[in-house]
Copies of this chain bind each other. A is one copy, B any other.
Amino acid sequence: MTAQTKLDAWEQRTEWPLAGAAVIFLVAYAVGVLDQPAGAAAAAVGMVTAVTWALFAMDYVVRLWLAPRRWRWFYRHLFDLAIVVLPLLRPLRLLRLVTLIAVLQRAAGRAIRGRVVLYTVSGAILLVFVASLAVLEAERGQPDAHIVNFADALWWSMTTITTVGYGDMTPVSTTGRVIAVLLMIGGISLVGSITATLASWIVQRVADEDNAGRVVTTAHIERLMDEIQQLRGEVQRLQGVPARGDRPDG
């Protein structure tokens, strides 16, 4: 088994366990932010967070160790390193949930537009939920914060990702603003995705209307080819006929 094959096998085997760990992390994160537990509950949340962190860190180390060309792998997975090392980026572990989306995908069929819609919608919902938790955690402690409960955080996230931006509440901490910028980028992508999917659908429908029964497909070429080959057959039989016609002359 080559090194690359081993890495691939590891990634395939750990796909589901890591997605599971990401879900457990999400639940622990949500409980930690929303319930602000104390005592034993806080310890439990802290432990779950630590364990899921350890799993992701271990996965990173194993993959680095299995990679055939380690430096190259290291440079190409700086983002993975950042997710493991920087506490601010912890929620990005949820990117692992694309594995779950891939399952939904089988239900949605393999049509490209269906997949784009699926990724856009589930990505937007996840982004709004996680960003609301993260901004609430970041802002809650600020003296002049506008966003002090989860309902406010969700409302703010929705106004941001849709690029409406009322400004009735805005983050005041640096962490909160970084989260806001990620949401804005998500929002532009959301608008872009929806528009692009619609545009593609309309373009295709218009093309179908325009070209109904007028587009030349390989089926037309096949029919032409058939016709020409039958013609060749007849010409070849014709070559045989004068040949027969030659004999009486000879």
Chain B residues contacting A116 (CB-CB under 8 Å) are: 202
The residue in chain B whose Cβ has the minimal distance to the Cβ of A214 is B217
Partner of A248, one of B193, B230, B249: B249
Contact A216 B205 (CB under 8 A): no
Contact A202 B112 (CB under 8 A): yes
Chain B residues contacting A225 (CB-CB under 8 Å) are: 223-224, 227
Interface secondary structure of A, over-half rule: helix
CB distance from A75 to the nearest CB of B (A): 14
The residue in chain B whose Cβ has the minimal distance to the Cβ of A191 is B188
Q: How far is the CA of A43 from the CA of B167 in the complex (A)?
A: 41
Contact A246 B241 (CB under 8 A): yes
What band does the interface of chain A fall in when counting residues whose beta carbon is under 8 Å from B? 35 or more
Chain B residues contacting A206 (CB-CB under 8 Å) are: 112-113, 200, 204
Scan residues 220-250 of chain A and give those whose CB is less than 8 A from a CB of chain B: 220-221, 223-225, 227-232, 234-239, 241-246, 248-250
The residue in chain B whose Cβ has the minimal distance to the Cβ of A197 is B202
The residue in chain B whose Cβ has the minimal distance to the Cβ of A195 is B192
Contact A216 B218 (CB under 8 A): yes
Instruction: From A34-42, A84-92, A157-165, give the one contacting chain B.
Output: A157-165
Copies in the complex: 4
Contact B205 A112 (CB under 8 A): yes
CB distance from A247 to the nearest CB of B (A): 9
Q: How far is the CA of A217 from the CA of B194 in the complex (A)?
A: 32
Contact B209 A112 (CB under 8 A): yes
Chain B residues contacting A185 (CB-CB under 8 Å) are: 162
Q: How far is the CA of A221 from the CA of B220 in the complex (A)?
A: 7
CB distance from A148 to the nearest CB of B (A): 14
Contact A184 B162 (CB under 8 A): yes
Q: How far is the CA of A164 from the CA of B169 in the complex (A)?
A: 13
Q: How far is the CA of A184 from the CA of B204 in the complex (A)?
A: 27
CB distance from A221 to the nearest CB of B (A): 5
Contact B202 A192 (CB under 8 A): no
Contact B181 A158 (CB under 8 A): yes
Contact A204 B210 (CB under 8 A): yes
The residue in chain B whose Cβ has the minimal distance to the Cβ of A246 is B245
Contact B242 A238 (CB under 8 A): yes
Q: Given A111-B209, A167-B165, A220-B218, is A198 in contact with B192 using a C-beta cutoff of 8 Å?
A: yes
